[in-house]
Amino acid sequence: MSDSDNFQKGADFQRSVQEYFIREYGAGFELEKKIGIGTPKKDHKFDIVLENKIAIECKRYTWTKTGNVPSAKIGFINEAAFYLSFLPDTYEKYIVILCSYHVNRDESLAEYYYRTNQHLLGKTKVAEYDPENRTFKIVGQN
């Protein structure tokens, strides 16, 4: 699988999450929306944004084939949490991870991520989304 295939799958996942939020909350969710964060402000592109209300970072990650933790990818999820932490608490903040289970694991990847990293999340919610079944589940929030 080439990197462009991974990019396309990630973009497709992002659009499916956007469609879910539009179905649930209505129109207005923009893809790749820049918001100034930090001091001094510098633009960061968030995956999906409803202006001044909701910011979402999407991660289409799965367990490794053998059921091991995809450690490098967990780092990218932490990076998403870091960027979301700079948004004001007036935003509802989400990290949405592809619904991924493995036969050797008793929890989904999103559940694992929340259990092991909730101390980094502040008010950011962790959710999983299954684009095939169009199901969305919050797995954790502080």
Nearest Cα to Cα of residue 14 among 36, 47, 55: 47
Please write the tens of the pLDDT for every residue from 126-138.
999 999 999 999 9
Interval 25-78: pLDDT, tens: 999 999 999 999 999 999 999 999 999 999 999 999 999 999 989 999 999 999
Write out pLDDT tens, residues 83-126: 999 999 999 999 999 999 998 899 999 999 999 999 999 999 99
Q: What is the 3-state secondary structure (H, E, C) of 7-69?
A: HHHHHHHHHHHHHHHHHHHCCCEEEEEEEEECCCCEEEEEEEEECCCEEEEEECCCCCCCCCC
Where do the domains of the chain lie? 3-140
State residue 5's pLDDT score. Answer: 77
**Angle formed at CA 116 by CA 101 and CA 128, multiple of 5 degrees:** 40
pLDDT at 4: 61
Percent of the chain with pLDDT over 90: 89
Confidence (pLDDT) at 3 = 53
For the whole prediction, is pTM greater than 0.85?
A: yes
Q: What is the sign of the dihedral through the CA atoms of 18, 74, 77 and 1?
A: negative
As a CATH number, domain 3-140 is 3.40.1350.10
| Nearest-angstrom CA–CA distance, 48 and 94 | 10
Terminal Cα-to-Cα distance of the chain (whole angstroms): 37
